[in-house]
Structures are given as C-alpha cells and as structure tokens.
Chain A
Amino acid sequence: MAKGTRELRRRIKSVKNTRQITKAMKMVAAAKLRRAQEKAEAARPYANKIQEIIASIASGTTAVKHPMLQSRPVKKTGYIVITSDRGLVGGYNANMIRKVLQTIDEKHKSKDEYAIFVIGRKGRDYFRKRNYPVIEEVVGLPETPTFADIKKIASGAVELFATGQIDELYICYNEFRSAISQIPTITRLLPLDAVGGNADRKVNYEYEPSAEEVLAVLLPKYAETLVYSALLDAKASQWGAQMTAMGNATDNASEMIDRYTLEYNRARQAAITQEISEIVAGANAQA
C-alpha cells in the first residue's frame, strides 16, 4: 500500500482522540453551566433585599447624602476586569480584554488615569505582560466562588473609592444572556446610580441608629454584592462560552474525520486498482 494511507490513518486516529476530548469538555461545561446558573439564581434574593432597603431609605428620607451616591470630578478610574483562569473558552477572554482596551483608549491618555483590578489568570497575564497598572489580582478562584473569595478585591476597590483614590469604578464582565450568547459588558458600579425601587411598597422603617448610618453600612455591602453577582454571571458565561467553543471543535473534528476517511478510502481503492492492473498486465505478458 502507498505510504499516504498510513499517514492518513494516523491522522484520523489523532483527530478522533481530539474529538473525544472536546466532546467530553463540552458535556462537562454544560453541567457546570447549569450549576453556575443555579448559583447565580441563589445569590439574587440577597442583592434584591439590600437594594430594596436602600431604595426605601433613599425614597423615605429626603436628601440622604453619601459619598458613594455622588459623582465627583474624575481624576482616576478603576476597572474590575473578570476573566477566566483557563483557556479553551472561545473568544471569552479575548473579547473582554479587547472591549476593556477600547474603553481605556478612548477615555484615558496616560496610565496614571486608571487602575485595573483583575480577576482570572488570563486577564492578569495579559495586563501584566503589557505593563498595565494592575493594583489587585485574584487568580485560582474555585469553580463555584463564594462571597469570601472575592470579598478582598471587592472591598478593596470600594475602599479606594471611599478614600478618594479612585473617583469612578467600572466592572467589566461577560454578561450571560444565554448558553450561546455572552456579551462583554462594562458598567459603572460607583458612584451608584440612584437606586430605583418600586416606590409603591414604601414602608416607614425605624432606623437604628439612624438612616444615614444604616446607609453608610449598606452601600459598601451593596457594591460588593454587585461585584459578586457580576462574578457569578461571568462564571456562567464562561461555561457557556466553553460549551459553544467545544461544540464547534467537536463538529470541526467530525468534519475533518469525514474528509480524511474519504481521502483514505480513495487512496486505498487506487492502490487496489493499481495492483489488479499490475497482475493483469503480468498475466497478459506471460500468455
């Protein structure tokens, strides 16, 4: 047999192995996606409750003043960028980073005007290598992160805002729309936009010690909660992205195998045809 066939057989085998892996990864990602979605769902009551109380304070008492609710001239901007620790997630990280860079390019002239808090190894490596001002980083988060895991970065960023080192805080993450659609989003976290609530459910609370003090404790918590829910959303997106990427990889592998198999069969047939004609030619020569 021609040597081409052996080479083809080897390739088919190798692509089959790859397909097996990508297929498994796809299924694992699908399972993890479901879990991540449940987790994001479970976090919702907490955030809603805090928001509800803040809204009722904001609407109940007139003129509540808190630095976290007030815009001030922006000298320095903070970005919390959420990426994944591992690759094989399609355009998940690349899209996010591109969007962040675009925003930074548009808004800032020098590196003194912004600071980056980065979550995830991919993002960290990228920004570090290119000497972006990364002030805080978290890598190696577990698959289902707990509130404690990101408390440090969240409260750190909120603290920097409170002490006036940054005047704005944005959070950049892949918003989860569906298993096949994740949209890189950049939203402003601080100063908090007027927290709108359903004012019709207004309750006149007694605040202990006072409305202002309750608000002072609640607002940083609320901001941290927003970071946490963004992270959970990003995690769900990550699995969604991986699922899609691995699904595509599996399809491509199948297509490749089909093509190689066809080629292999052709080569095999050609070899047989040639052999037969050689035998026939030999027989004819002897006759």
Chain B
Amino acid sequence: MSTMTVEVVTPERVVYSGEASMVIARGVEGDLGILPNHMPLVTPLKIAPVRIKTEGDKEIKMAVSGGFMEVRGDKVTIIAETAERPEDIDVARAKAAKARAEQRLSERHPDLDVRRAELALQRAMARLDVADNR
C-alpha cells in the first residue's frame, strides 16, 4: 500500500510527523479524504478532529483549530494554531468549556459575542470527540 508523509505543525512545535495511508479532515467546504497521490490542494479547515490512518490500520485523531491543509504530491501538511493528541487533552476542562459556551449561547445576552462562544463550543466538542477515542 502506498503511503504519504504527514506533518502537523503548530506555531509551537511539530506535533506529528510520519507516514500515513489516508488523512481525513473537515475542510470549510466539507469533509475531505486524502489518499496518496492526491492533486495539490490548499484549504482552510474547520475546527474539528482530523484523522490520520497509518499503515498498520491504526488511526490517530487530533483536535485541530485554526488550521489549514496543504497537499502536495506525497506530502500532506496540516498547519494549525492548535493541534492536540488525545493524551494532551484535559477532558474535564473541555467539558467545562463546553458547558460554559452552551450556557452563554442559550442565555442570549444582548452583549454576547456569539461568534466567540460558538468557536469555543466547537473547540470543546472537537476536543471531547478526540479524547473519547483514545
């Protein structure tokens, strides 16, 4: 089976680097499954889990926010503001963040920053989703 190199890069460090047979990510236009030899592509990503399938049919999940994906030949680069592996995620904190964001959204305060609350909610949900499947 052919593989490609996958790299996940954040401003702080390279979070992941390795071979993979498939990358599944949620782009702004919808879900994308990238296989080796995909055509060159650049797309922003939604705040969502990214799944990287490695050779031995293993799957690595990562919660990505503020991200981008670049596909070029046999190399996929995900550039993101944050990218967290399940073991990096503080579940209690994510749950609290989710509850807080939901509460803010349901209260509908006039001076509420809806967009910010929504983003917080999305981040929390992506984290919880990733953390579940460890």
A interface list, Cβ under 8 A from B: 39, 42-43, 45-47, 49-50, 53, 57, 146-148, 151, 203-209, 213-214, 217-218, 221, 225, 228
State which of A53, A206, A228 has its C-beta within 8 Å of the C-beta of B11: A228
In this complex, how many residues of chain B approach chain A with their Cβ under 8 Å: the count is: 23
- Decide: A203 and B72 in contact? CB cutoff 8 A: yes
- Contacts A50-B79, A53-B70; A43 near B29 (Cβ below 8 A): no
| A39 proximity list for chain B (CB < 8 A) | 12
Report the Cα distance A209→B94, complex, angstroms: 30
Complex Cα distance, B68 from A209, in Å, reads 12
Contact A208 to B68, CB < 8 A, known contacts A42-B14, A46-B11, A50-B79: no
* Contact residues in A for B66 (Cβ distance below 8 Å): 221
* Distance in angstroms between the alpha carbons of A46 and B27 in the assembled complex: 19
Could you tell me if A53 and B68 are in contact, using CB atoms closer than 8 angstroms?
yes
How would residues 1 to 32 of chain B score, 1 for a CB under 8 Å from any chain A CB and 0 otherwise?
00000000111111000000000000111000
Among the listed B11, B40, B68, which residue makes an inter-chain contact with A204, where contact means beta carbons less than 8 Å apart? B40
Pairs A-B, 3 closest by C-beta atoms: A208-B43, A147-B11, A205-B40
Contact across chains for B40 and A225 when beta carbons are under 8 A apart: no
What total of A-B pairs shows CB separation below 8 Å?
Answer: 69
CB of A46 within 8 A of CB of B10, answer yes
Least Cβ–Cβ distance between A207 and chain B, in angstroms:
5
Q: List 12 A-B contacts (CB under 8 A).
A: A53-B68, A147-B81, A148-B81, A203-B40, A204-B40, A205-B40, A205-B70, A207-B43, A209-B29, A214-B42, A218-B68, A221-B81
Partner of B28, one of A53, A147, A209: A209
Do A208 and B29 touch across chains, with their CB atoms under 8 A apart? Answer: yes
A208→B68 CA distance, assembly (Å): 11
Binding site for A on B (CB under 8 A): 9-14, 27-29, 39-44, 66, 68, 70, 72, 77, 79, 81-82
Contacts A49-B9, A49-B70, A218-B68: A206 and B41 contacting too (C-beta < 8 A)?
Answer: yes
Given contacts A53-B68, A147-B11, contact A46 B40 (CB under 8 A): no
- Residue on A with the closest CB to B70? A53
Chain B residues closer than 8 Å to A57, beta-carbon distance: 42
- Residues from chain B with a CB closer than 8 A to the CB of A206 are 39-42
Is B44's CB under 8 angstroms from A214's CB?
Answer: yes
Q: Which of A147, A208, A214 has the most chain B CB atoms closer than 10 A to its own CB?
A: A208
- How far apart sit A203 and B77, CA to CA, in the bound complex (Å)? 14
Q: Please pick, from B12, B28, B39, B41, the residue contacting A146 in the complex, using a CB distance under 8 A.
A: B12
Min CB–CB distance A154 → chain B (angstroms): 11
- In whole angstroms, what is the CA distance A205 to B69 when docked? 12
Given A46-B10, A53-B68, the answer on whether A217 and B44 have CB atoms closer than 8 Å is yes
> A218 vs B28: C-alpha distance in the bound complex, in angstroms?
14
Shortest distance from the beta carbon of B37 to any chain A beta carbon, whole Å: 14
Is B77 a contact of A49 with CB atoms below 8 Å? Answer: yes
Q: How far is the CB of A67 from chain B (nearest CB, A)?
A: 18
* Chain A hits for B29, CB < 8 A: 208-209
Cα A208 to Cα B71 with chains together (Å)? 12
Residues of B close to A214: CB separation below 8 A = 42-44
Residue of B with least CB distance to A151: B81
Residue of B nearest to A144 (CB): B12
CA distance A151 to B43 in the complex (A): 22
Question: Separation in Å of the A202 CB from the closest CB of chain B?
Answer: 10
Give the one of B40, B44, B82 with max A CB within 10 A: B44
Complex CA distance for A84 and B120, rounded to whole angstroms: 31
Chain B residue numbers with a CB within 8 Å of A228 are 11
A56 → chain B, closest Cβ, in Å? Answer: 8
Closest to B43 in A: A208
A57 CB, min distance to chain B CBs, angstroms: 8
Q: Does A45 contact B9, Cβ atoms closer than 8 Å?
A: yes
Chain B residues with Cβ below 8 Å from A204 are: 40
